Each structure stands twice: as C-alpha cells, then as structure tokens.
A and B are shown apart, each in its own frame.
Chain A
Amino acid sequence: MSTTENGDQVATRPEPVAAHAASENPEDARTLLSVENLKMYFPVKSSGLIHRKVGDVQAVDGVSFEVKAGGSLGLVGESGCGKSTTGRLITRLYEPTAGHIRFEGEDIASVPERKLKPLRREIQMIFQDPYTSLNPRHTVGSIIGTPLRIHNVVPEKQVLPRVKELLEIVGLNPEHYNRFPNEFSGGQRQRIGIARALTLNPKLLVADEPVSALDVSIQAQVINLLQDIQREFGVAFLFIAHDLAIVRHFCPEVAVMYLGKIVEIGDRDSIYNQPRHPYTQALLSAVPDVKQAAVGGRRERIQLEGDVPSPINPPSGCRFRTRCPIAQDICARLEPPLLQIGKKHKVACHFPGALGQHPNEPLTAGMLGVDHQGNPDPGASPSPDLTDKPGYDDTWFDLDTRTFGRA
C-alpha cells in the first residue's frame, strides 16, 4: 500500500486518513526493551499492632519479553493477571522484586529513585482513566508544559509554542491551552494525556488500557491517533488491554498473561489464528462476536469454570490448571516452561496443541527430566534447550515432529 494510492480517498473521509497498513513490527529493528524474569511481589501484612508479613501477592512472577524500537507488544489478560503491574514496573513506578529490565542495553530494574530522571524522558505512560489522571486544578497548558520545564528541554519562552504544537498533533484546538480538564470530554481528555506523554519525545510509551474508559465511537478515534503517532514519531508501545480485538488491531506481537505469568507469546497470527494454550483458546472463544447476528444464538465456546485463583496463594505447578479443561497430574507437580514452538511463538503448557488436538502425553516431560506424571525420572536429565530468555531463538521445538529443529 503506498501513500499516493490511498491519498485520493483522504478528502472524502471524515478524518485525515494516511496510507494505512497493518501495524507491523519493523523486521530488523534493534531491541529497545528487554525484560527478563521480572518479578513483583507485594507483601501482605497481618492486621493488628505488629504488621508481620504473612505472604506475598505474586502480581508478576517471572515474565520475559522484548519490545523492538518502533514496534508494539500487546499484553492481554483478565483483571489481576499482572499486566498493569508489568507496565508500572517498566516505567519504574514500582521497583521490581527481582529480574532485569534492560532499556537500550542498560539495566534499569534497580536504578535508585533519584537517578531515574533521565529515564523518564525515554519512557512515558498513558493511563486508563482520563478523569483521574489529569490534575483538575491545572490548565491543559500547564499539564502538558510541566515535563518541558522539569527537564529543561526548551527555554521558558518556547514552552507555550511547543504545548500548542502538541495539542495540534493530538487533534485538539491549540487555542484551548488555557482551559481546565473538566471542560473537555472523555476522549479529548485522553488526547491531553497522550500529548503529555509525547512532550519529551519518548522512545517507549506504556499505554495502560488507553481506550477502555471511552465510548466505542471515541475508542476508534484514539486508536487511530496512537497509530498515527507511532508511524510519525517511531515510538515503541507496550499496549496493555483486556480487549482482545483492540490488541489484535494495534499490536503485531501479543503476550497473554495469566496470574502473573506469560502463558503464550507470539506474533499476531500465531496467537489469534494458531493459539496452542488452552487459556488463549478459551479467551478467544469467549469474545462475543457481532457477526453472530447473521446466525443467531450464542457461539460455541469453551467454558472456563470458576474464577481466577488468588495470586497470594497460586496453584502449584501450572497456575491455570484449576480451570484448565485438559489438566493432568503433571500440571499440579511441575510448572510448564515457556517453550518456543514456532519462529515467533512461545507457549507455556505441558500439552500444547490446536483446539481439540491437544496431545495426550505431556510433550515437556522429556525436556524437564520427568515421567508423564511429573515424577522425577532418574534416566532423563533436563534439556539445555529450555531457557527463560526474552526474545526468540533460531531453533525451536516443532509440535508435529516433536523435536527441536530449525525451520
């Protein structure tokens, strides 16, 4: 699709529409963010006078992924799966319990608070609720201009022109810099939040449910704006959302989280067309579909029983096993490794397979050095091919031949 080809249609459309291709990750881009084995445990204190620690909320428990420069990774999952915590860890709003966050090669996981200021210029965040994330007593000009002043980016005289420029970029009237947030609608406020995040020309934007508080017709406006910004400024996105359709639309790579862990990660096509984890399959089948109107009635779906267990006391072994339709003994004993099963596709399941074709024997038993029930097998030793490194290897485990190999 070329610019000129589509340029003609622009005039008739309601919004300026540039040439549009599916958002793809740049093929040879360098790795901007590399997260390895990241953990965040929030202590749970007992009540009473002496607050003794009685446990941990294991909000994020060992996640690894990469974001390419100018690319976008979507994090999806149900509430409490740790996707927002992951976003807040990367912006260093929390200090992680363990693990590494490498931003442009530098580990920022344990940089002390006072040395974080330069980092804030590079990584910015867009929040879910445009009503509580803007200070009601500050004008829009002051909200967007403050980062410029704090970081001394431009002389005081140039702050206002830059603010107006940013307002224009996000599609607001630049003359409205003197207004207060309450004079704007929800969609407009979200645009203000986006302008604030863009002020310092960040390389990475963490968007935590950026559209879920907006009306459907406004959601599309904001999604289009974010895509335009990504194309124009080459910003990388960590896009956190629970809406599978929106994530699919926005992100060429998607990670599915469940109870603090990534259960499946891969490019868009792998996750949405060839999901191999029973949770991803259930999640996808649960989305109500507009096209069902032509048929009537409800779509066939995989029913998950019950609710997500508490992250204070997560199930042993595979965390999804309590709701999993295909769980066996090994699932309670051993946690499945995040196994690469395609060029850009990893899955954490003992029985990975297409819907209805999950294997009867755990494929991971040999690699983990155990028998099919998960008991240690003295004859076998854990495979060196298993890693919890972020990114993808050149070799992977092929589900059909059941061997490690190259494409």
Chain B
Amino acid sequence: MSATTQSGPAPRQAGTSEPLLVVEDLKVHFPTSDGVVKAVDGLSYSVERGKTLGIVGESGSGKSVSSSAIMGLFHGSNAQLGGQIRVDGTDVLQLSEKEMRGLRGREVSMIFQDPLSALHPYYTVGAQIVEAYRVHHDVSKKVARKRAIEMLDRVGIPQPDQRVDSYPHQFSGGMRQRAMIAMGLVNDPSLLIADEPTTALDVTVQAQILDLLQDLQREFNSAVIIITHDLGVVAEMTDDTLVMYAGRGVEYGPTKEILTHPEMPYTWGLLSSVPDVVGDTSAKLIPIPGNPPSLLNAPSGCAFHPRCTHRDKVPGDLCTTTLPELVPGNRSMGHLKRCHLADPEAIYQTEILPEIAPDLVDEER
C-alpha cells in the first residue's frame, strides 16, 4: 500500500513526496449560544493523486463539515478552525479569502448532493460552467463556451451544443448531476470532493454517474474524496476508507481491509444494519441502538460508548473515561482504529460475521 495508509501523517516539509491532500488534526468548532459545537474534532487523513478516499458516517458525524473546510468555506464565518489542511503543500487554513478564491474551483472543487439547489435556477447551465472557467482562465467568452460544450460532451450530455443553453430545470436529475460534474472538472482540479454525489439519484442513474466519475478520475489523475453513507458505493469506488463518528475518525485504512476485517464496533454496526440483495432474508437486521450523539456535549471517553454493545469486553471503565487513540490495530500498520477492544478480529469472526454473512464464515476460516 501507499503512503496514504501510514499511521498518523507525521509533520513533514511540503514537498513532492507528500500526498496531494494532507489533513492534520483538523478541528472545526462552532460557538453557539448553547455552547461550542465540536463538529470536527481532531481529524487526520491524506489522499494521493489518482486515489479515492471514501468518508462514511451518519448525519452529524462531521463528514461534510470537514470537506467544506478543505474548500475554505468557513473563511469569514465565526467557526473556530484548528490544525492544518495542506493541498499540494499549501496550508489552506492560513490563506486569505482572496488567495483561497484562487485555489477554490481550480485546485480543489466540489460536487454537491442536490444538483437542483446547487445550480443557479436563473442562469443557463452553460453560463454557469463558463463562469467557473473564466474565473480562473483569462479567455474570451467564445473560448470558454467552447470549453463548456466540450465538458458537457465529456460527461455524456446528448447534443451538448444545444443543451449548453438549457436551464437547470430543463435537465433531468442525472443530467443535472452530470452538469455539476462538468462544472467541477472544467478547471482540471487536482482534488475533487464529491459530497453524496449519487444519493438523490436512482440506482440505474447512480451506476452511470459512478462509472463516469471513475473514468474521469483515470483520465485526469485527480484525487477524489467521496462522502457517502452507502457502504456499497465505498466498496466499489474507493481505495481507502475513513469511518467518522461524532467528529472524529474511528477507523481508517484500505477499503478492502475496513470492509472485510473491520475492527471497530461502529463499523460492525454499519455493516450489520444494512440488508443486501443476496443475503439471508431470515436474518434480522441488527441496528445500532440509540441515536447519534449531540456534538454540543459529546459523550466522555469514546464517543460511541453509549451505543456500543461490546463495552463489557473492555476491562474497567476505560470506554467511558478515556478517549482511545486512532492507532494501528492488530492486522496491519495501515489499518487504524479508535477502540479499546484488545482483540476485535476475534469478536468479529465469532460474533459479527456469522450474523451478517453466515456464508462467508467458512471461507474465512
């Protein structure tokens, strides 16, 4: 595996050896009248060029907030930011809003979940792509328009030379998402953040969009972050996976490792609470009990402890008092987990796997 999976990115000098995106101990806190909401609290990860990172977690786990921070969307707000976000060696958090504007959309760009609300209803799709291009390139409108048509063609919009003058409402959901992707990629960004890119779409259209994203990534060799709650999407699209809970990473490593040998009870819960299209229908879904915690006053110790069903396997009251570190587990250096359990692999094999995939147990042994 690559440097992406090194345990806790150590502070290094910016250079060619560093991954494209390095997030280090990122904190995003929002002061409110009720107290400080710690939306992201000490998050570290990195993504290399040409690689895809999947960020999974429930709503309120901080997955969208952390990526908004990479886009510099909290500049000028009252959010308190800490840590470092280095894009190609530049610390985004230290940039002024003006410098940030030079980076946003050119180096780093983002695809949003709901294309209908992310596109401006009063401007044609073409005008919006042209604007995104001309902000960073000093070209005539004619050249930019040609570029917009080229991009619409690339993302598979039929008759792009005519559809470039359509308004967003004249596009179907899948086409709008394609237009968003075209806009996101018009400046050849080296990092693309896709925030739930297919959640609003139907499965057959989702398959088209995921294929498109993968093709484009290969073509442009960009780094991609996919934020999703669909573990199936993560399994098929990503190289690395970061599982987030209550503003922190709780498990991080190569996707294959995370999904076949998860070591954190929250990841087990995610895996066992979704039915799949081939599994045993007599198996009862095993939900994670309780609700996601409030980030206003997160639970003490491990934030997951009030919902964790394996707490009794940890000696003493470690779970309720001490926050576990995100450290390599027993399997490999690249597989980090934030949990006190001494031998999670054994529990997974004997208790969890028989519940979620009885047919796999024999193969694994």
Chain A positions near chain B (C-beta within 8 angstroms) = 1, 13-15, 17, 20-23, 78-79, 185, 187-188, 215-221, 223-224, 227, 242, 244-246, 248-249, 268, 272, 282-284, 286-294, 296-299, 301, 303-304, 306-308
Contacts and interface: CB of A to CB of B under 8 A. Distances in A.
25 contacts: A13-B286, A14-B286, A15-B289, A20-B282, A22-B282, A23-B281, A78-B203, A215-B59, A216-B270, A217-B287, A217-B292, A220-B274, A220-B287, A248-B275, A249-B275, A249-B279, A286-B203, A287-B232, A287-B277, A288-B210, A291-B357, A293-B256, A293-B259, A296-B256, A301-B207
Interface string B145-171: 000000000000010000000000000
B65 interface: no
A17 B205 CA distance: 37
Contact of B229 (A185, A216, A244): A216
Interface stretch (B37-45, B172-180, B324-332): B172-180
A248 B232 CA distance: 16
A293 B255 contact: yes
Contact of B204 (A78, A187, A227, A272): A78
A294 B206 contact: no
Closest CB pairs A-B (n = 10): A288-B232, A220-B287, A293-B259, A220-B273, A78-B202, A217-B288, A22-B282, A249-B275, A220-B285, A293-B235
A12 B235 CA distance: 30
B281 A217 contact: no
A82 to B, nearest CB: 14
A203 B275 CA distance: 27
Given A215-B58, A288-B232, A292-B236, A248 B281 contact: yes
Contacts of A294: 256, 259-260
Interface string B256-294: 101110000000011111111111111111111101100
B282 to A, nearest CB: 4
A185 B236 contact: no
A249 B272 CA distance: 13
B277 A245 contact: yes
A1 B282 contact: yes
B287 A224 contact: yes
Interface core residue of A21, A227, A272, A298 (most chain B CB under 10 Å): A298
Contacts of B205: 78, 307
A217 B236 contact: no
B236 A303 contact: no
Contacts of A272: 277-278
B296 interface: no
Given A218-B287, A248-B281, A290 B231 contact: yes
Contacts of A215: 58-59, 229, 292
Contacts of B204: 78, 282-283, 286, 304
Contacts of B258: 293
Contacts of A218: 287, 291
A298 B229 CA distance: 18
B208 interface: yes
B322 interface: no
B284 A248 contact: no
B273 A289 contact: no
Nearest to A76: B203
Contacts of B274: 216, 219-220, 245, 290
B281 A293 contact: no
A303 B273 contact: no
B287 A288 contact: no
A17 B234 CA distance: 30
B323 interface: no
A257 B214 CA distance: 29
A223 B275 CA distance: 10
B343 interface: no
Contacts of A296: 255-256
Given A21-B282, A242-B203, A298-B210, A219 B273 contact: yes
Nearest to B359: A291
B235 A289 contact: yes
A389 B139 CA distance: 64
Nearest to B357: A291
Contacts of B271: 290
Given A287-B232, A290-B259, A15 B287 contact: yes
Nearest to A306: B158
Nearest to B355: A13
B230 interface: yes
B237 interface: yes
A35 B208 CA distance: 35
Interface in B197-221: 202-208, 210-211, 214
A289 B280 CA distance: 15
Given A78-B204, A284-B277, A249 B260 contact: no
Given A245-B274, A286-B206, A298-B210, A221 B281 contact: no
A44 B161 CA distance: 30
Interface core residue of B230, B234, B235, B237 (most chain A CB under 10 Å): B235
Nearest to B271: A290
A219 B288 CA distance: 10
